[in-house]
Copies of this chain bind each other. A is one copy, B any other.
């Protein structure tokens, strides 16, 4: 039997451990402590090592064929190189672009992301606890409510955290959001300019910043346009889903049958508004105009293409990751709150009212 036959070796399914060079080999070759090697070879930590020393260590590691074990490195440096991301619902097409921005920025800095889907029944505190037990260096939270215990929990545990998309009432940790009030102002101005006076709002969950601020922006926009309060109807959806949007829109149409336009707090809710209009035999935009919020992928291909408020999703994720990296390297860093400007994208779902 020829045990050196290449394919039989490959099939052994065990790494060839004994011959693998260790961090000590690299350290003794360079005359430094193993922890210095560990820092020099970690993209997240190499700035702590003098440039020429780091270069010498990288050269020695390459010459020896040394590959760092990041788990062991984490125990030496006190950093795992892992960041946890709490996602509201990973199957919501609006979230992946934000996640893409987060992971790209973190990947460049040498961090890997663990994405946890909180879902409708998940406990954020429990999930954060699991992530802390895994030694994450920081957290990106895309799920917070206005008064969310998970924020104090992260602060108490000493884990750097930043908020993205949604923020909390207390502004206790850094955040990156879209200007939700201004976005709704754009939507309202667009409809007023088309001649609408009877507007309704399918609001998002009122315990989230996006739900509360977009509703406030809707009401402020109409007040500014001189539309009397009794012409304004609002129905809040308990979740950002197509189903909840459908139910809220049906309630709205029941209460105000003379509505000519509905603004939804996000695009998934707007899909539900489309469903409700179809169920009532109403045409969009001839009978009722619809405006969404977020410009999630492929809403330009709906029937009719959805007029919506575009938010800078990828940039939001990128900026949140950068705030987190700053916070990880300096826990006393300033708490920045970044608010990005949205943009109205007018498509086929809005038109002048019939009468």
Interface stretch, picked from A51-59, A107-115, A219-227, A251-259, is A107-115
Look across to chain B and name the residue whose beta carbon is closest to the beta carbon of A135. Answer: B71
A91 touching B97, Cβ below 8 Å: yes
Within 8 A of B (CB), among A28-53: none
B91 touching A297, Cβ below 8 Å: yes
Look across to chain B and name the residue whose beta carbon is closest to the beta carbon of A91. Answer: B96
| Bound complex: CA A15 to CA B113 (Å) | 22
A91 touching B100, Cβ below 8 Å: yes
| Bound complex: CA A69 to CA B305 (Å) | 50
Question: Does chain B have a CB within 8 A of A316?
Answer: no
A88-108 CB mask vs B (1 if < 8 Å, else 0) is 001101001101100110010
Question: Does chain B have a CB within 8 A of A282?
Answer: no
What chain B residues lie within 8 Å of A13 (beta carbons)? 155, 158, 160, 331-332
| Bound complex: CA A72 to CA B96 (Å) | 31
Q: Chain B's nearest CB lies how many Å from the CB of A46?
A: 15
Within 8 A of B (CB), among A54-79: 67-72, 74-75
Question: Does chain B have a CB within 8 A of A25?
Answer: no
A114 touching B114, Cβ below 8 Å: yes
Question: Does chain B have a CB within 8 A of A121?
Answer: no
| Bound complex: CA A104 to CA B114 (Å) | 13
| Bound complex: CA A15 to CA B114 (Å) | 22
What chain B residues lie within 8 Å of A11 (beta carbons)? 155
Q: Chain B's nearest CB lies how many Å from the CB of A318?
A: 14
Q: Chain B's nearest CB lies how many Å from the CB of A184?
A: 23
